[in-house]
Amino acid sequence: MRPSIEKFAEKGFLLSALLSASITIFIFSFMFLFSLPLFKGGHIAQFLRLGWNPYDGKFGVLPMMVGTVIIASFAILIATPFGIGCSALISVFSQRNFGRFLRKLVEFMTGIPTVVYSFVAIFLLVPLVREIFQKGTGMCVLTASIMLALLILPTIVLFLTDAFNSVPKSYLNAAEALGATPVQKLIYVIIPSAWKGIISGLVLAAGRAVGDTMISLMIAGNALQIPKGLSDAARTLTAHIALIIASDYESPEFKSIFVCGLILFVFTMLIVLVLRLLGYFEILRER
């Protein structure tokens, strides 16, 4: 091939890569730019405070941040034991039939759209929770956390299973030869060896939990308050952004959503940095 075609192709590839990488930078810039009026107005301190009441000039997103943290934390709290249990089942206790079926099911779960989870939850879970608490609409922290846990479960299970399976065979053989039972292998060899992968899976799942919009939008209640209990309705940053979009362009509450966007961006960056420290990306690249 002529050298000129080669050079042209190489430049083309480079340009594409630059374009892709710069999207991230653009997203940050736009969020920053659109938030600027609010920074300039010295309102930033107001953000991290309570009380969202546009008519009063109050734009605190604190309730939303708390909402996000609480719902995501509960989701992880619920999903982690289930995730570990299922992974243990798939990699250690039942490598044939049941485990393989479970793994296929979990892989299938990755394909379930979040909006479908939420839709079914509205008609199945919400009335149930309403019954249990005997108050409220049933759309609250608990409902959202449960569905969110279901959503992030596949991430945890698939990641943990891969981590468990990458433990060097020599360790397993050694344990086996010494007469270890499957449970002992799991607790004494596999988990200690794969702890980095386990934490990475959990961090990744946390990122997903914070970033999800539809579940919290549809079944968490969207109340503008700091939730004090499982039965309280709450609003997350993500749902907040979706809700405010409906109002008009020039209003100040409108501009506040870009600050929310900035917060989410920074959060994502932190997650990526933590995962890097854990060596997650090296593991991923090896696969």
User: Binding to another protein (CB under 8 A): which residues in 36-75?
Assistant: none
Q: Which of 49, 53, 57, 110 is in the footprint of another protein by CB under 8 A?
A: 110
**Closest approach of another protein to the CB of residue 283, in Å:** 12
Return the residues of window 247-276 that contact another protein according to CB under 8 A.
Answer: 249, 257-258, 261, 264-265, 268-269, 271-272, 275-276
Confirm or reject binding of residue 281 to another protein (CB under 8 A).
Answer: yes
- Beta bridge pairs of residue 234: 221
Confirm or reject binding of residue 242 to another protein (CB under 8 A).
Answer: yes
Please spell the DSSP secondary structure of 91-132, one letter per residue. Answer: III-TTHHHHHHHHHHHHHTTS-HHHHHHHHHHHHHHHHHHH
Piece of 47-55, 159-167, 168-176, 180-188 that binds another protein (CB under 8 A): 180-188
Confirm or reject binding of residue 218 to another protein (CB under 8 A).
Answer: yes
Confirm or reject binding of residue 111 to another protein (CB under 8 A).
Answer: yes
**Closest approach of another protein to the CB of residue 228, in Å:** 25
Phi, psi angles (nearest 5°) of residue 228: -110, -10
- Nearer residue to another protein within complex by CB, 16 or 251: 16
Q: Which residues have a Cβ under 8 Å from the Cβ of 198 and sit 6 or more positions away?
A: 84, 159, 160, 163, 191
Confirm or reject binding of residue 187 to another protein (CB under 8 A).
Answer: yes
Confirm or reject binding of residue 21 to another protein (CB under 8 A).
Answer: yes
Q: Which of 12, 37, 127, 279 is in the footprint of another protein by CB under 8 A?
A: 12
Confirm or reject binding of residue 214 to another protein (CB under 8 A).
Answer: yes
**Closest approach of another protein to the CB of residue 134, in Å:** 23
Return the residues of window 128-157 that contact another protein according to CB under 8 A.
Answer: 150, 153
User: CB–CB of 257/245 below 8 Å?
Assistant: yes
33-55 as b/e, with b when 16 or more CB fall inside 10 Å?
A: ebbeebeeeebeebbeeeebeee
3-state SS, 25-66, equals: HHHHHHHHHHHHHHHHCCCHHHHCCCCEEHHHCEECCHHHHH
Kindly state the number of chain residues that form the binding site for another protein, as judged by CB under 8 A: 90
